[in-house]
Amino acid sequence: MAVVNERSRLSRNPILVSFSGLDGSGKSTQIENLTSFFEERGLATRTLAFWDNVVVWSRYREGFVHAVYGSERGIGAPDRPVNRRDKNVRKWYLSLARHFLYFADALHLRSVLRKARRLPIQAIIMDRYVYDELANLPLSNPLTRLFVRAVAWLVPRPDVAYLLDADPEAARARKPEYPVDFMRECRASYFRLAELLGSMTVIPPLPLAAAQAKVESAMEPLVTGTVTRLGPTTRSA
């Protein structure tokens, strides 16, 4: 069952939806499907990519891992694997730096969403969210768990925050960028984060059509309420 933020649902803010999960879990496909789902119902939609639209100093952060750790550039594909070395580098000083950087990203996320909510739109879809960064922290550490709760309180809570589960081996076959062992660790970390936050809707590994149906069923009450509030005149404008 979807976890819905009732206060946000009843407000005049656009519906806010986020997609999180392993690389290769199908986020792009589900985002495209949900965008069509919204637009077919007359809802103007804006999609924001967390790395491109939210992350601060993204160019310098990417340049650092390329220069220092030899991370390969590009996006992995089945016929063209990429050896990424960034979030899978587990140095203690990088973990400390991530806490600082992720907090800065959270502050910027608030600003980005504040501006987006002023646009004449009825839905915002986030391709990844700050949750994807928090899942990369050592969640077994009590201080880190306090930090995670603080960041989750600081940022706008999505009306529905999807966590797309995926088999690590299958996800890596679709998008070969990180070692399978690391992806297994990431999957476990996502589930620890979901348990800690208690506000994520998990979509299990399913065939595409079945996963799409689960995503849409979670959105139907929100869309119905928004369409009713807009009325036919606004939707046809």
Does residue 53 sit in helix, strand or coil?
Answer: helix
237 found inside a domain: no
Q: Which domain holds residue 123?
A: 6-229
Strands (E), 93-168: 123-127, 160-164
DSSP 8-state secondary structure symbol assigned to residue 75: -
206 found inside a domain: yes
Strands (E), the chain: 15-21, 45-49, 123-127, 160-164, 201-203
Residue corresponding to tokens 């309420």: 225
How many structural domains compose the chain?
1
The pLDDT > 90 percentage for the chain reads 73
Residue corresponding to tokens 């994520």: 200
d(CA 229, CA 223): 10
Q: Name residues of the chain where pLDDT drops below 50.
A: 1-11, 233-237
**pLDDT digits 0-9 by tens, 198-212:** 999 999 999 999 999
236 found inside a domain: no
CATH of the domain at 213: 3.40.50.300
Does residue 21 sit in helix, strand or coil?
Answer: strand
pTM of the model: 0.89
What's the chain's average pLDDT? Answer: 90
234 found inside a domain: no
**pLDDT digits 0-9 by tens, 35-61:** 999 999 999 999 999 999 999 999 889
